[in-house]
């Protein structure tokens, strides 16, 4: 039995519980939402405290950051500055042996207490092997490759022995290109240059998927350190604008760079879940992961996987191993989607939602649609004939 300390993270309130390898229970964010009715996610303590089923299961608005409603950027920014400032002071004081009342040593709280590792050399090895396999190397221009190699080197150096913080950082920046693509498509539409709502919808679904990867990492304490948050948010901000600029000149290059990063994410996550398999199997899945992968409405989950028939992928979420494997498989789907977007930009082969590209209608529905279409065309014909007669 491993005792995991409860702590109040910077963005999520996390109540990890005593974990049993024999009967994994829940790591509950306590403030995130959960679809469905998986009774196993509610602990006895929660019930004893008088939490109603609705409190625990139903949609609860997640508190993120300092705000509680949409308000002016100036208000939010100034309050965030104060809040983050207190984190800096607390971390600095802890460094010289002065601890705040609610201080919990890093080794006693997630992610450190989870005992997870990541061997950077093994990640590089996985990447080398993938790139040696026919058709799996992302071919890109030398500038993008150099930037990518430099980024990987920095990551290896910054997050030695801290895989969850590394994943949090990666997920923070990894969804920026999807915001950027949507912004650029809005711009193109606003100027009346070009419109493709289907493509925009696929990017939204991709971003929603990356958001959940990020939430999982936050639940596991990936954003616990002020330094990591500072770096993550600022790199993400710069990255968003850099991708915007790149997209303006070459959407193909913007998609290609993301394809490169998504392929790297597959290498990293696959190395991680193989390396930590035994430990991850002992740890329970966070509620946010269950709510996402086992939700009642998985339209957006299916929507970014353009090569798969909707509803064809419903992975298990029984423990943390499943969660990381699912994230890795999501990243592999992002690689395919980015490759398709690159081709769209290159040769015009359109990208559409799998809800449209796969024919999911039953024969009866197809017949009804056909009948409605015939009815409509006859009506048009009648109107045209009447006009000619007139």
By the criterion CB under 5 A, which residues form the site for Fe ion?
171, 174, 210, 213, 262, 331, 334
Tell me whether residue 211 or residue 298 sits nearer to Fe ion (CB atom).
211
Nearest distance from C-beta of residue 219 to Fe ion, angstroms: 14
Write out the H or E segment, with its range, that includes residue 240. Answer: helix 226-249
Token reading at 344: 């769209």
Cβ-based nearer residue to Fe ion, 171 or 282: 171
Would you give the DSSP letter of residue 292? H
Calpha distance 167→228 (Å, rounded)? 11
Taking the complex as a whole, the smallest distance from the CB of residue 199 to Fe ion amounts, in Å, to 17
CB of 103 to Fe ion, least distance (A): 31
Cα dihedral 266, 121, 274, 288, rounded to 10, equals -50
CA angle 153, 158, 161 (to 5 degrees): 110
Q: How far is the CB of 210 from Fe ion (least distance, A)?
A: 5
Query: Between residues 210 and 282, which has the closer beta carbon with respect to Fe ion?
Result: 210
Measured CA to CA, the distance from residue 42 to residue 27 in angstroms comes to: 10
- Report helix, strand or coil for 27: strand
DSSP for 254-313 reads: HHHHHHHHHHHHHHHHHHHHHHTHHHHHHSPPBHHHHHHHT-S--HHHHHT-TTS-TT--
Residue 6 or 298 with smaller CB distance to Fe ion:
298
DSSP class of residue 36 equals: S
- Give min distance, CB of 289 to Fe ion, in A: 12
Q: Taking the C-alpha atoms of 154, 155, 159 and 164 in order, what is their torsion angle to the nearest 10 degrees? A: 170
Q: How far is the CB of 333 from Fe ion (least distance, A)?
A: 9
Output 14 or 178, the one with its CB closest to Fe ion.
178
Minimum Å gap between C-beta 327 and Fe ion is: 6
Chain residue at closest Cβ approach to Fe ion: 213
The pair of structure tokens assigned to 369 is: 């649609």
Contact 356, 198 (CB under 8 A): yes
Contacts of 27 (CB under 8 A, 6+ apart): 4, 14, 16, 17, 219, 220, 283, 284, 285, 286, 287
User: Which of 14, 324 has the CB closer to Fe ion?
Assistant: 324
- Strand-pairing partners, residue 137, are none
In whole angstroms, the minimum distance from the beta carbon of 170 to Fe ion comes to 7
Q: How far is the CB of 86 from Fe ion (least distance, A)?
A: 30
> Quick one: tokens of 298?
């998985």
Nearer to Fe ion, 302 or 331 (CB): 331
**259 vs 282, which CB is nearer to Fe ion?**
259
User: Token digits for 223?
Assistant: 């954003």
- Can you give the length of the chain in residues? 390
| Residue 47 CA, distance from chain mean position | 31
Query: Judged by CB, which is closer to Fe ion: 19, or 214?
Result: 214
């Amino acid at each position: 039995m491993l005792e995991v300390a409860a702590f109040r993270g910077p963005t999520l309130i996390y109540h990890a519980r005593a974990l049993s390898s024999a009967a994994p229970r829940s790591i509950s964010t306590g403030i995130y939402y959960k679809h469905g009715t998986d009774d196993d996610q509610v602990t006895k303590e929660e019930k004893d405290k008088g939490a109603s089923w609705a409190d625990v299961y139903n949609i609860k608005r997640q508190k993120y950051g300092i705000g509680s409603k949409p308000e002016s950027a100036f208000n939010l920014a100034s309050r965030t500055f104060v809040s983050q400032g207190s984190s800096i002071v607390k971390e600095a004081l802890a460094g010289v042996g002065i601890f705040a009342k609610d201080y919990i040593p890093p080794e006693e709280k997630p992610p450190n207490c989870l005992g997870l590792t990541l061997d950077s050399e093994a990640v590089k090895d996985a990447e080398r092997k993938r790139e040696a396999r026919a058709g799996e190397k992302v071919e890109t221009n030398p500038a993008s490759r150099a930037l990518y190699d430099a980024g990987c080197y920095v990551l290896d150096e910054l997050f030695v022995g801290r895989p969850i913080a590394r994943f949090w950082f990666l997920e923070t920046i990894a969804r920026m290109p999807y915001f950027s693509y949507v912004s650029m498509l809005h711009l193109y539409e606003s100027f009346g240059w070009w419109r493709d709502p289907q493509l925009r919808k696929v990017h939204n679904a991709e971003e929603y998927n990356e958001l959940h990867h990020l939430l999982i990492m936050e639940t596991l304490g990936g954003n616990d350190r002020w330094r990591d948050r500072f770096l993550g948010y600022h790199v993400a901000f710069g990255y968003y604008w850099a991708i915007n600029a790149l997209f303006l000149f070459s959407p193909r290059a913007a998609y290609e760079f993301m394809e490169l990063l998504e392929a790297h994410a597959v290498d990293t996550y696959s190395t991680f879940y193989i390396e930590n398999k035994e430990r991850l199997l002992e740890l329970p899945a966070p509620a946010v992961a269950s709510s996402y992968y086992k939700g009642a409405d998985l339209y957006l989950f299916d929507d970014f996987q353009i090569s798969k028939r909707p509803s064809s992928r419903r992975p298990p979420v029984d423990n943390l191993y499943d969660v990381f494997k699912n994230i890795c498989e999501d990243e592999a789907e992002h690689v395919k989607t980015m490759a398709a977007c690159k081709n769209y930009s290159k040769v015009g082969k359109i990208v559409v939602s799998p809800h449209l590209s796969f024919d999911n209608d039953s024969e009866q529905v197809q017949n009804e649609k056909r009948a409605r279409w015939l009815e409509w065309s006859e009506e048009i014909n009648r109107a045209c004939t009447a006009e000619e007669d007139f």
